[in-house]
């Protein structure tokens, strides 16, 4: 109608804002987890550590055991901490939290990936004059790329679909897609059409990425199963 020619869709604007929040937090947390997790996994595979009675296997299991904790146990500590350091309703706050959330899975995937790479390749690179870091970045990382892609996709899916902390620690500026989808329910009932549209738009990017990188995902997830 003529009255609506110069009006903008607030729902559409809100969707794009929530969509960008999800993209930034998911990609940022996944990338940060890949960097930290790859270095941690490489250290656990190639070097021997001893902390009291902890050995490499114990440290690896400790990382994985963090997934046992239910999110509700961490709700109050993170809420108090984020309020004190002014990270409530911020993207950086979600990025840091999501990084901690997916880091154990990334470490375990990359640990299996590095275990499947013969150490003789690195020893040969060291003999040829490369440093330890040079061998890691120029020899190990290209071989471990499928595992890194698989870990990145899995981490991004977990971050993208996370709802509990996104609803707890955000209010306006940093809300993500899952929170917006859940907000379609209210006292007046459920807006099924909006919920269906938002859910489809939320699933589509992950489906496209999964199809495009399917080969790397399969290679990375099956690394270490065959010697």
Query: One digit per residue, pLDDT tens: the chain, 227 residues?
Result: 455 554 555 677 888 899 999 999 999 999 999 999 999 999 989 888 877 777 888 888 888 888 888 889 999 999 999 999 999 999 999 999 999 999 999 998 899 889 988 889 988 988 988 888 999 999 999 999 888 988 999 999 999 999 999 999 998 889 999 998 888 777 677 778 888 888 888 888 888 887 887 776 676 666 555 44
pLDDT of amino acid 227: 46
> Tokens representing 131?
């440093």
Phi/psi of residue 186, each to 5°? -160, -170
pLDDT of amino acid 102: 94
DSSP 225: S
Q: Is 144 exposed, middle or buried (0-12, 13-18, 19+ CB in 10 A)?
A: buried
Determine the Cα angle at 152 with ends 149 and 158, to 5°: 145
- Other CB atoms within a 10 A radius of the CB of residue 131 amount to 11
Q: How far apart are CA 53 and CA 62, in angstroms?
A: 13
pLDDT of amino acid 221: 60
- Other CB atoms within a 10 A radius of the CB of residue 179 amount to 20
Q: Which residues of 27-44 are buried (b: 16+ CB within 10 A; e: fewer)?
A: bbbbebbbeebbebbbeb
pTM: 0.85
- Tell me if 93 sits within 8 A of 174, measured CB to CB: yes
pLDDT of amino acid 223: 58
Q: How far apart are CA 93 and CA 87, in angstroms?
A: 5
Q: How far apart are CA 73 and CA 222, in angstroms?
A: 33
- Evaluate whether the domain defined by 2-221 bears CATH number 2.40.50.140: no
Strand residue runs (E) in 39-178: none
Strand partners, 54: 51
């Amino acid at each position: 109608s003529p009255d609506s020619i110069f009006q903008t869709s607030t729902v559409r604007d809100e969707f794009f804002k929530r969509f960008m929040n999800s993209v930034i937090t998911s990609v940022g947390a996944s990338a940060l987890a890949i960097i930290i997790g790859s270095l941690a996994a490489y250290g656990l595979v190639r070097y021997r550590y001893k902390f009291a009675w902890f050995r490499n296997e114990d440290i690896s299991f400790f990382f994985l055991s963090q997934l046992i904790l239910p999110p509700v146990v961490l709700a109050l500590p993170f809420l108090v901490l984020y309020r004190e350091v002014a990270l409530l309703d911020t993207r950086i706050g979600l990025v840091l939290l999501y990084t901690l959330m997916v880091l154990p899975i990334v470490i375990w995937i990359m640990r299996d990936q590095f275990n499947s790479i013969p150490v003789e390749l690195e020893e040969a690179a060291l003999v040829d004059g490369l440093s330890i870091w040079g061998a890691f970045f120029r020899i190990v990382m290209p071989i471990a790329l499928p595992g890194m892609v698989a870990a990145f996709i899995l981490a991004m899916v977990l971050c993208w679909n996370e709802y509990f902390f996104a609803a707890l620690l955000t209010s306006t500026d940093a809300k993500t897609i899952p929170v917006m989808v859940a907000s379609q329910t209210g006292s007046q009932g459920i807006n099924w059409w909006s919920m269906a549209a938002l859910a489809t738009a939320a699933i589509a990017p992950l489906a496209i990425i999964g199809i495009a990188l399917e080969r790397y995902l399969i290679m990375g997830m099956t690394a270490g199963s065959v010697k």
